[in-house]
Amino acid sequence: MLETGMRAPDFTLIDKDGKAVSLSDFLGRKVVVYFYPKDNTPGCTRQACAFAAAYAQFKARKVEIIGISKDSTASHLKFAQKYELPFVLLSDPDLQAIQAYGVWQEKKLYGKVSMGVVRSAFVIDEQGRIEKALYKVKPDTNAAEILAYLTEE
């Protein structure tokens, strides 16, 4: 598990528009990286829409938002267009970042055990260090919780 003060694992993934994006591209800026299970599912849609609704407040604090799932770039493009998501969505089909951040974990649903993405978020500071790590976050309150944290600073 990643903890406060640790260097955030760098990654290079493809965004919804087919462009390579690296975490290191954002050095000098604060970034929220959030991991979610799947585009167009109820919880993930609520979480993404909450980040979209608060996007202007994040931008006012000079904070970038990056959402990552193992969905394809085509899926991300449709998801972003459908819900007018203004932030970066990255595709991680090989689980490069998902595993580096420790969010690929065993999950239990209706007694069935499987591996999947545990909804998590990380506030990464301007130097590329983990400022705050949040695991097993709730989709409806995640964006507001991070915004509240950033406001307290």
Both tokens of residue 74?
Answer: 């085509």
* Residue 44 annotated as catalytic: yes
Both tokens of residue 23?
Answer: 């975490």
| CA-CA-CA-CA dihedral for 110, 42, 96, 89, to nearest 10 | 180
Smallest CA-to-CA distance from 31 within 40, 39, 21 is with: 21
Catalytic, out of 2, 13, 44, 89: 44
Cross-strand pairs, 68 = 35, 90
Tell me the C-alpha to C-alpha distance, in Å, between residue 105 and each of 46, 71, 83, 121, 136: 22, 17, 28, 15, 11
Strand ranges (E), 12-142: 12-15, 20-22, 30-35, 63-69, 88-91, 104-109, 112-117, 120-124, 130-135
Residue 1 CB coordination number (10 Å) = 10
Active site positions, annotated: 44
